[in-house]
Structure 1
Amino acid sequence: MQMGYKLRRVPQQRRLVRHLMRIILELLQSTQRPMRDTEIISTLAARLRRSDPEFQRQVALNLEDAVSYGILKRQLNVYSLRSKQLSLIVENLAPSSGRSQR
């Protein structure tokens, strides 16, 4: 029996949910302080009047994706803005009227 290493494949990066990511970035920018993941989820749930588990899961996934894309920084489930070019990122995430979004 041959023993070897089990290789882990790197998962493909998911596409960001642009509207939700823009709202998360605006929240962090307006508070001007790092926030815990639970605080971000509860604040957005209250603002958007969504408290279902799917919404909470989607926000958590977007936070993870923002870290993997280098938009946010995470330390012990506390998220903060990483980029000094935040206005450029928010502008690119803003919905455009001519294109359809996913």
Structure 2
Amino acid sequence: MKHELKCWPEHFRDVVQPNKYKRKMVEIRKDDRTYNVGDVLILKEFNPKTETFTGSWAGVRVSHCLRGGPWVPEGYVAMSIHLEDFEFSE
């Protein structure tokens, strides 16, 4: 399954960080789309101040899903993500 999601600039930059040891590798979202291992997330950079997309996006694959307490609030999912398909345009 493929999901297109808004991603604020500061979080987007952390996902696409060239240094793999400093990358953001967890995405926490409301679990309203029934995310699963193997899903692809298309993270589209979105500026909340201007309420516009920047045109930049990153494709990541979900490798693990964690639901439920005590670590994840009810109705949310923490997903391990791995940058898979990357294209960056400014």
TM-score by length of 2: 0.34
> Whose strand fraction is larger, Structure 1's or Structure 2's?
2
| Bigger Rg, structure 1 or 2 | 1
> Whose helix fraction is larger, Structure 1's or Structure 2's?
1
